[in-house]
Structure 1
Amino acid sequence: MNRKVYIDGNLLVKKGIFYAQNIVMGVDEMFKTNVDEIICPPNGLLEITEDYGSIFTVYYIKGGCTFYGGEDGFIYMFETKHEVTCDKYKQNIKLIEKLINEVEVPENLKNTYYQQQYVSVFGALEYFLFDTFMGQVCSNYDIYIKVLSNHVKYLEYSREIKKILRGKHNLEQEKMFIAQSKEVIYHNTKQVAALFSVAFDMSVNLEILNKQIEVRNDIVHRFGHTKKGDEIHMTKGNVVSLIVKTDILVNDISKRITEFIEGATE
């Protein structure tokens, strides 16, 4: 149900969020012949004053597009190119590597400093997993419906949420799905495994990082101490070792996601 809409004029997002899969501006009228809907706004200006649109719709605009930004109107779109998601991960890891290789840190602060970089590696991994899941599911209506129809418990935490996610497809449902997907814990092995299995028929085994995840939790929740109260001693080597493991995991997932995307478009 990915749709194409032609706006015969200009777009102004004054308030609320304009949801879209993509926006193409400055198009000529030839696009009218290959769209699902044509919008002819009064005086040639479509003004948005509340949440509007769909993440599964490409909007072709005859003129231009303006949004106020800040707390007022803005536009919400997903990055659908997986290679961009991969590049983000690599860039984030490079930043961490620069921090551990080029920054001079006093000896008495190194343990805390390396603990922070260790957690940041998990941040890069989790952002990659989040961006991969959201980018692909929120750009392909068939995958989106597939995920919803499987009633994944990690997305349905209340009766109200279930009612919306299992109901009629509309913008309210899309917004709820986005909100619930953002609440997923992307270092939780069971949650990630369930989402990727349902969406992409893919087995993602974060359990190979179980020991590292435990260390990550000790750093985040107990300022670098185990549940027994023992202090964690972190070194640069520990951070480098974790990067090697997450790189292997990310490269494997990227390869299989690319194959999945290519298969879905054939």
Structure 2
Amino acid sequence: MGSLKESYLESDEGRQENLADALGISWDELSQLDYTVTENISNEGLLYGYFITFSSNCSAEILSKIAGISKSRTISLSPWIFERSYEDQYALGAIAQNIDHRASFSNEMESSVRLQNLQIDDHATRQLLLRQTFISIIGALETFLSDTFISKTLSSEHYLQQFVRNHPEFKQQKISISEIYDVSVKIQERAKTVMVNTIYHKLPTVREMYTGTFSIDFPNISNLQKYILVRHDLVHRNGKTTEGRLVNVNDKLIDELRNNAVTFVEELTNKLERDFDDDLPF
């Protein structure tokens, strides 16, 4: 085992939030504790996880809230416990609070219509407005796909198992028999990290996640793919194609994108609702 500098954790609020969440205590409670962090590393240099050891002068009341802590005030944590950032934690919290992702998407579409209908005389400013409206519609679709997937998956042990069983991130992991229990205890945390870090405008990847986890027939993505490419030009090439041609974003293009996005979300929502009712194994 090798030592991990405490300053590395203490300088990163996001990592402390993750640690407090993993320990089952609040950030304020964690800040009252003195502890050291050591890495659990194999002879081959693989990181198995972390050991958190609390000093003897720590509050016994706070330590009693930490499930699995040993008599020597030490607890073992998974290697990915510090992977989720503060922003990831915030995103997960927001997803958990939103119980109607379809309604949120519809509200965003209505907002995009109001934004598009703003009267601006200056041509350059009008073009900038249309570009931002186009990008915002793709963003709303991404948010719907991510929030729906994460909330549905975490709401069911069956779907969480399906996600872990089918996602490439977990298929490529190799663990020994002796590690099975420790890994299984923390598997939900690792799954959360993978789900939050997915790029949800990569529709072929998202399609595989939905079909593998929920066993549904994912809606056709071909109509939306061309708009994803336009978004890439707008965001990463300042509105130009790889050939240097300026992308023409007009009201007709935005209306087409919005209509396709709304149709896609409605179709996907209907498939999810139908299959959740019919196919649950319990």
TM range (shorter): 0.5 to 0.7
Candidates 244, 258, 266, aligned match of 2:273: 258
Mark the CA change 1:253 to 1:83 in structure 2 (over 3 Å): closer, same or farther.
Answer: farther
Unaligned runs of 5+ in 2: 1-16, 25-59, 70-74, 76-85
Report matched runs for 1:177-192 at 5 Å: 177-192=191-206
Candidates 224, 227, 230, aligned match of 1:215: 230
Aligned twin of 2:82: none
By how many angstroms is 1:261 displaced? 2.1
Deviations 1:39-77 (A, max 9, x none): xxx98x9756999xxxxxxxxxxxxxxxxxx99x99x66
Instruction: Compute the RMSD of aligned alpha carbons.
Output: 3.8
How far apart, CA to CA, are the structure 1 residues paired with 2:281 and 2:93? 21
How far apart, CA to CA, are the structure 2 residues paired with 1:169 and 1:218? 42
Aligned twin of 2:215: 201
How far apart, CA to CA, are the structure 2 residues paired with 1:85 and 1:203? 20
How far apart, CA to CA, are the structure 2 residues paired with 1:193 and 1:216? 19
Higher RCO structure, 1 or 2 (CA under 8 Å, sep 6+): 1
By how many angstroms is 1:189 displaced? 2.5
Aligned twin of 1:232: 247
By how many angstroms is 1:116 displaced? 1.3
Larger radius of gyration: 2
Aligned residue pairs total: 209
Mark the CA change 1:81 to 1:108 in structure 2 (over 3 Å): closer, same or farther.
Answer: closer
Unaligned runs of 5+ in 1: 1-12, 21-41, 52-69
How far apart, CA to CA, are the structure 2 residues paired with 1:191 and 1:230? 28
Aligned twin of 1:89: 105
Higher helix share: 2
By how many angstroms is 1:203 displaced? 2.6
Q: Which amino acid aligns with 1:84?
A: D
Candidates 113, 126, 129, aligned match of 2:129: 113
Q: Is the CA contact 1:80–1:139 (under 8 Å) kept in the aligned structure 2? A: no
Mark the CA change 1:194 to 1:245 in structure 2 (over 3 Å): closer, same or farther.
Answer: same
